[in-house]
Amino acid sequence: MAIPVNGFSKLTKQEKIAWLAKNHFINQEEGIDILQQYVNSDAKLQSLHDEFIENTISNFYLPLGIAPNFLINDKYHTIPMVIEESSVVAAAGKAAKYWQQRGGFKAEILGTEKIGQVHFMFYGNTENLNRFFAEVKPTLLQATESITANMRKRGGGITNIELRDKSNELANYFQLHCTFETLDAMGANFINSCLETIAKTFKSEAQTCDMLSAEEKDIEIVMSILSNYVPNCVVKAEVSCPVDALNEDKNLSPQEFADKFVRAVAIANAEPHRAVTHNKGIMNGIDAVVLATGNDFRAIEAGAHAYAAKSGSYKSLTHAKVEDGIFKFWIEIPLALGTVGGLTSLHPLVKLSLEILNRPSAKELMQIIAVAGLAQNFAAVRSLITDGIQKGHMKMHLMNILNQLGATAEEKAYFIDYYKNKTITHSDVINQFNALKAKNV
């Protein structure tokens, strides 16, 4: 049972591990040994990892895989993916090869606008607030000039500030809705610094404004923070080919395959329970590349799912149709990404991943990651409407089961061959493994 501790953050790493082992590990020596196994032998590199977060006790490794053969806008890309789930990387690579033979993927940026908001309470006449805002807006922009100078030199910065009346949703609630262009930076720190300066200036200017009453001058700033919902920072990726070119399945004609695929996507648009799993598959591909490139997958997830529900009902992020004999499959998704700053310049594997991608700009990375999500979804839907999702997934999962059972290399080779044309289930693998062990005793 966990016990409280005071001053934990002030302990050394070894003291933290000792406390953890004493109070939480069943086998203290084994637990400490496991933590030590994942500590990097390079002290300088380990020190870098230790400083990413607080109270570091070890490293938690995830596999870094590669999906080659992605033809995007007529250029080939090898895509790095960080994920623990079996079959994701294989599925992405399979989809890349499939569309490589049918013209590849096309991608385009629909917008790069990012958003931040100053949330505040105002008690008084809204017309007075509107007049005050119109007068103070230039001052708000001027107050941030020292923060935005470098960004403006590169063509970015604050693009607009709007006063929004949200008092119908919450009494006395208003916001300064600010939009930004942050170029190759994700821009979270930049946006938040601007917002806090805007909020401070807005409040101080109100206190000396003659057009506001004493009560109206007392603006209450609640918080100033960027938004991870960026519906105008959107990328589109698509594939298309003549229906007749969809000739890869023995059991379905190209037209049957196309019709069944379009219906499967339509079901995800009509049924939220299916849409959540459908979109989770998309995010398998997206999150894996977001992680590999040192971006914030939690922010991307939150924004993507909000976008999926923008109509008021949760729907598929992808779309499919057949028109004039052409099969089309596409995704539109908000992706606020960066290729400079943060972990992109600190984490050695992040830097290497960006190098694998030929050091893309933020816009190029948006396109690559959207394609990864589309490819993942195509592979999943394709499996669902043909062989079923478990056939390919369980083949990949077989190695996890065998590793859990402590199988030798020879035993792994035996079972890979054994299940080549058989249905794989967890219980059956265990039974067959135990039978083989008994036979060889």
Which residues are part of the catalytic machinery? 85, 280, 296, 393
**Which tokens hold the place of 342?**
């943060």
E-strand stretches of 199-350: 220-227, 234-242, 318-323, 326-334
**Residue at token pair 């789930």:** 85
Q: What is the DSSP letter of 289?
A: H
Q: Give, to the nearest 10 degrees, the angle between helix 272-292 and helix 348-356.
A: 100
Which among 253, 255, 235 has a CA at the least distance from the CA of 366?
235
Q: How far is CA 432 from CA 29, 398, 416, 422, 423, in A?
A: 34, 12, 12, 12, 13
Residue 246, H or E segment: none
Q: How many CB atoms lie within 10 A of CB 331?
A: 24
Q: Residue 185's beta-bridge partner residues?
A: 340
**Distance separating alpha carbons of residues 96 and 85, to the nearest angstrom:** 19
Which among 284, 344, 360 has a CA at the least distance from the CA of 75?
360
**Distance separating alpha carbons of residues 330 and 321, to the nearest angstrom:** 9
**Distance separating alpha carbons of residues 268 and 241, to the nearest angstrom:** 22
**Distance separating alpha carbons of residues 384 and 391, to the nearest angstrom:** 10
**Distance separating alpha carbons of residues 110 and 440, to the nearest angstrom:** 62
Residue 41, SS3 per DSSP: coil
**Distance separating alpha carbons of residues 332 and 374, to the nearest angstrom:** 9
| Number of residues in the chain | 441
